[in-house]
């Protein structure tokens, strides 16, 4: 619902509300909302579209107002008091308490067992871990990370009649990372782009770009002096802003040099309850419109592909009917799989080949390496059909990018895309680069940029292999689209390379596979 209506009309527009839920007063509920058992919603409460309210959530605004944005999740046991505003795409963990006069931004993640004491603000894209206590009148900026056990105090005075008049919470500016079990004195300011070490007691202002720790917390060095064990400089988001002329805000397109067309080669559609994430096909289409994405590879979620094939089939059909979406089927092979199981997978793909435009495989989840002899028949089928196959890579040894080498060389008619730049994390990506540098890269093997949050890794890969075998992939909803695009731009590559990575390489590949028209 987009306007106030009587409660009797609340079950329209795909709204799902359990019969045990209590709703009273001037409650406005958007389309696609789901409310689980034993929740209580009373008073002047607005719940945005496609928001999920878990069980035993309490939201009461008898005198004030509560506003929950679109595409949010409020986990079980949470209590939200009146005069609270929560932006779009925000997650609230289990058993959290949010007291009055609090504003929480967009794309925020509040961990379980948090307590936000009121008269507080939390900026966009900030994440608080579990067991965080944010005292009254605290301000947390954008793009911050706060580890468990953070406790900012807010008054230095003993109990008295005017004690509350002099409450002064902490101010944490943007791009700050705070370690576990940090305590701050009342009114302390932590300036932007700083790192506070675990267990610190912060008693005075911390300057911008500082690394500080201890009891009392003291500045030890600057952020730009920190390096990884291999000698590479640690890039922060603030570093990236200064390199590309940004302002520290990820919502503004002015921070991007590249404004051309995009093909996103790595997006997950479906619900992922174990991570409290999800992306619908309509949301994927909306992202395409907003970000000038001409084509988007959408992957079916693993649970549906493995346990509920009829849901996967419906997703494939609906996605294939969209001009902007190309559906890939997620193949799951169990460690105990027999040849009969492999044939069953092949038969399913064959049956739905009109809708399936490519395949996805995740060795770490399946616990079967991509070069395992048991699944070679599947890869031979993929080669025969000239499919594009997206292969996960990561820190887990079974997902090492080197295992795709033999598969790609033996199946030349298929195209193999190694996700996450061949490793997802710094050391694994570098291992993969060195491996293929010594072996020579197969011409039918590509890398996608998903999970790439260290710009120098992309630059290093292009230096070794050129830009012709790199595809842009965002890994939405597991990473924010703009963050991944942001990091690709921060690599310092030439405009011509960026155009190839964002669009031209994928376009040529899809034309060659007849998945799009020239």
* Residue 62 to residue 40: CA distance in whole angstroms: 13
Q: Return the ∠ at Cα 399 (arms to 479 and 410), rounded to 5°.
A: 120
* Residue 491 to residue 257: CA distance in whole angstroms: 12
Query: Residue 503: is its pLDDT beyond 90?
Result: yes
Mean pLDDT of the residues in the chain: 87
Q: Prior bond to 317 cis, omega within 30? A: no
Q: Does 64 map to a domain?
A: yes
CB 118 within 8 A of CB 135: no
In this structure, the strands spanning 415-418 and 277-279 are unpaired
Q: How many domains does the chain have?
A: 2
Burial grade of 413 (CB within 10 A; 0-12, 13-18, 19 or more): exposed
Q: Does 282 lie in the same domain as 143?
A: no
Q: How far is CA 425 from CA 401, 449, 472, in A?
A: 12, 12, 17
State mean pLDDT over 149-177. Answer: 88
Instruction: Say what the pLDDT of residue 314 is.
Output: 77
Contacts of 171 (CB under 8 A, 6+ apart): 138, 139, 187, 188, 189, 190
Residue range of the domain that includes 84? 7-223
Q: Does 253 map to a domain?
A: no
Q: Does 482 lie in the same domain as 373?
A: yes
Q: Does 44 map to a domain?
A: yes
Instruction: Say what the pLDDT of residue 252 is.
Output: 38
CATH number for the domain harbouring residue 204: 2.160.10.10
Q: Does 200 lie in the same domain as 70?
A: yes
CB 459 within 8 A of CB 492: yes
Query: Residue 275: is its pLDDT beyond 80?
Result: no
Q: Return the ∠ at Cα 126 (arms to 281 and 167), rounded to 5°.
A: 140
pLDDT-wise least confident of 152-161, 267-276, 388-397: 267-276
Instruction: Say what the pLDDT of residue 249 is.
Output: 40
Q: Does 315 lie in the same domain as 170?
A: no
Structure tokens at 435: 């491996």
Segment of 247-251, 314-318, 388-392, 452-456 carrying the highest mean pLDDT? 388-392
Share of the chain above pLDDT 70, in %: 89
Instruction: Say what the pLDDT of residue 105 is.
Output: 95
Q: Considering 171, 198, 223, which residue would you say is the last residue of a domain?
A: 223
Instruction: Say what the pLDDT of residue 250 is.
Output: 39
* Residue 208 to residue 431: CA distance in whole angstroms: 34
φ, ψ dihedrals at 324, nearest 5°: -100, -15
Q: Does 334 lie in the same domain as 188?
A: no
Residue of 124, 85, 108 lying closest to 251 (CA atoms): 124
State mean pLDDT over 147-158. Answer: 91
Query: Residue 416: is its pLDDT beyond 90?
Result: yes
Q: Does 449 map to a domain?
A: yes
Greater model confidence, 306 or 129: 129
Reported confidence tier of residue 394, pLDDT bands at 50, 70, 90: confident
Q: Does 495 map to a domain?
A: yes
Query: Residue 7: is its pLDDT beyond 60?
Result: no
Contacts of 117 (CB under 8 A, 6+ apart): 99, 133, 134, 135, 136, 138
Reported confidence tier of residue 228, pLDDT bands at 50, 70, 90: confident
What is the strand order of the sheet 262-272 is part of?
Answer: 277-279, 262-272, 293-300, 325-331, 358-361, 388-391, 415-418, 445-448, 470-471
Instruction: Say what the pLDDT of residue 6 is.
Output: 37
* Residue 419 to residue 432: CA distance in whole angstroms: 12
Q: Considering 177, 203, 223, which residue would you say is the last residue of a domain?
A: 223
Query: Residue 271: is its pLDDT beyond 90?
Result: no
Query: Residue 11: is its pLDDT beyond 60?
Result: no
Q: Does 504 lie in the same domain as 355?
A: yes
State mean pLDDT over 284-310. Answer: 77
Q: Does 373 lie in the same domain as 421?
A: yes
What is the strand order of the sheet 34-35 is part of?
Answer: 16-17, 34-35, 52-53, 73-74, 91-92, 109-110, 127-128, 145-146, 177-178, 195-196, 210-213, 218-222
CB 284 within 8 A of CB 296: yes
CATH number for the domain harbouring residue 465: 3.20.20.140
* Residue 274 to residue 291: CA distance in whole angstroms: 28
Instruction: Say what the pLDDT of residue 371 is.
Output: 94
Query: Residue 306: is its pLDDT beyond 80?
Result: no
Q: Does 250 map to a domain?
A: no
φ, ψ dihedrals at 488, nearest 5°: -60, -45
- String of DSSP letters for 332-396: ---TT--HHHHHHHHHHHHHTTTT--EEEE-HHHHTS-TT-GGGHHHHHHHHHTT-EEEE---SS
Residue with tokens 């090492």: 400
Q: Does 144 lie in the same domain as 66?
A: yes
Structure tokens at 332: 């799951």
Q: Does 264 lie in the same domain as 377?
A: yes
Instruction: Say what the pLDDT of residue 2 is.
Output: 34
Q: Considering 223, 241, 270, which residue would you say is the last residue of a domain?
A: 223
pLDDT in tens, 313-369: 777 788 888 899 999 998 888 888 899 999 998 998 998 888 899 999 999 988 999
Q: Return the ∠ at Cα 487 (arms to 483 and 488), rounded to 5°.
A: 120
State mean pLDDT over 214-226. Answer: 91
Reported confidence tier of residue 304, pLDDT bands at 50, 70, 90: very low
CB 86 within 8 A of CB 52: no
* Residue 432 to residue 430: CA distance in whole angstroms: 5
State mean pLDDT over 195-211. Answer: 95
Q: Does 214 lie in the same domain as 146?
A: yes
In this structure, the strands spanning 22-24 and 470-471 are unpaired
CB 176 within 8 A of CB 144: yes
State mean pLDDT over 235-256. Answer: 44
Greater model confidence, 331 or 165: 331
Q: Does 2 map to a domain?
A: no
pLDDT in tens, 309-327: 556 677 778 888 889 999 9
Q: Does 506 lie in the same domain as 371?
A: yes
Q: Does 283 lie in the same domain as 174?
A: no
pLDDT-wise least confident of 75-84, 110-119, 267-276, 427-436: 267-276
Q: Residue 218 region, left (φ>0) first, then alpha (ψ -120 to 50), else beta?
A: beta
Structure tokens at 447: 């890398």
Q: Does 240 map to a domain?
A: no
Query: Residue 254: is its pLDDT beyond 50?
Result: no
Instruction: Say what the pLDDT of residue 454 is.
Output: 72
In this structure, the strands spanning 262-272 and 277-279 are antiparallel
Instruction: Say what the pLDDT of residue 257 is.
Output: 58
């Amino acid at each position: 619902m987009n306007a106030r209506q009587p409660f009797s009309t609340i079950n329209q527009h795909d709204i799902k509300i359990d019969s045990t839920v209590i709703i009273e007063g001037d409650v406005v509920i958007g389309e696609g909302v789901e409310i689980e058992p034993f929740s209580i919603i009373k008073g002047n409460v607005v719940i945005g579209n496609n928001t999920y309210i878990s069980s035993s959530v309490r939201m009461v605004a008898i005198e004030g107002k509560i506003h929950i944005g679109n595409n949010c999740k409020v986990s079980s046991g949470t209590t939200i008091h009146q005069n609270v505003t929560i932006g779009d795409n925000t997650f609230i963990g289990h058993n959290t308490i949010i007291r009055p006069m609090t504003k929480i931004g967009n794309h925020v993640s509040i961990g379980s067992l948090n307590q936000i004491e009121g008269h507080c603000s939390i900026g966009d894209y900030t994440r608080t871990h579990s067991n965080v206590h944010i005292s009254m009148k605290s301000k947390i900026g954008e793009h911050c990370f706060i580890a468990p056990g953070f406790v900012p105090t807010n008054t230095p005075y003993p109990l008295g009649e005017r004690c509350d008049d002099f409450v002064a919470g902490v101010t944490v500016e943007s791009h700050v990372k705070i370690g576990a079990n940090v305590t701050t004195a009342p009114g302390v300011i932590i300036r932007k782009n700083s790192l506070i070490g675990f267990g610190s007691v912060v008693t005075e202002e911390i300057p911008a770009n500082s690394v500080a720790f201890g009891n009392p917390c003291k500045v030890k060095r600057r952020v730009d002096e920190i390096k990884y064990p291999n000698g590479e400089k640690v890039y922060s988001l603030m570093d990236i802003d200064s390199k590309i002329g940004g302002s520290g805000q990820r919502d503004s397109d002015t921070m991007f040099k590249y404004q051309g067309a995009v093909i996103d080669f790595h997006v997950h559609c479906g619900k992922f309850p174990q991570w409290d994430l999800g992306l619908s096909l309509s949301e994927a289409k909306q992202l395409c419109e907003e970000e000038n994405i001409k084509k988007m590879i959408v992957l079916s979620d693993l649970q549906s592909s493995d346990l509920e094939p009829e849901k996967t089939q419906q997703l494939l059909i609906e996605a294939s009917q969209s001009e902007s979406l190309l559906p890939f089927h997620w193949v799951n092979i169990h460690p105990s799989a027999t040849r009969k199981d492999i044939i069953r997978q092949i038969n399913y793909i064959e049956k739905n080949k009109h809708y399936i435009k490519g395949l996805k495989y995740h060795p770490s989840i399946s616990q079967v390496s991509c070069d395992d002899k048991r699944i070679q028949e599947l890869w031979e089928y993929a080669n025969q059909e000239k499919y594009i196959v997206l292969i996960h890579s990561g820190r887990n040894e079974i997902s090492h990018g080197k295992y795709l080498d033999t598969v790609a060389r033996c199946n030349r008619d298929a195209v193999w895309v190694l996700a996450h730049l061949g490793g997802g994390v710094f050391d694994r990506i570098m291992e993969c680069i060195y491996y293929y540098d010594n072996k020579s890269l197969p011409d039918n093997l590509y890398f996608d940029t998903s999970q790439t949050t260290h710009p120098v890794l992309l630059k290093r890969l292009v230096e070794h292999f050129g830009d012709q075998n790199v595809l842009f992939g965002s890994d939405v909803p597991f990473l924010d689209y703009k963050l991944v695009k942001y990091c690709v731009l921060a690599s310092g590559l030439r405009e011509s390379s960026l155009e190839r990575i964002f669009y031209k390489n994928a376009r040529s590949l899809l034309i060659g596979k007849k998945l799009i028209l020239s």
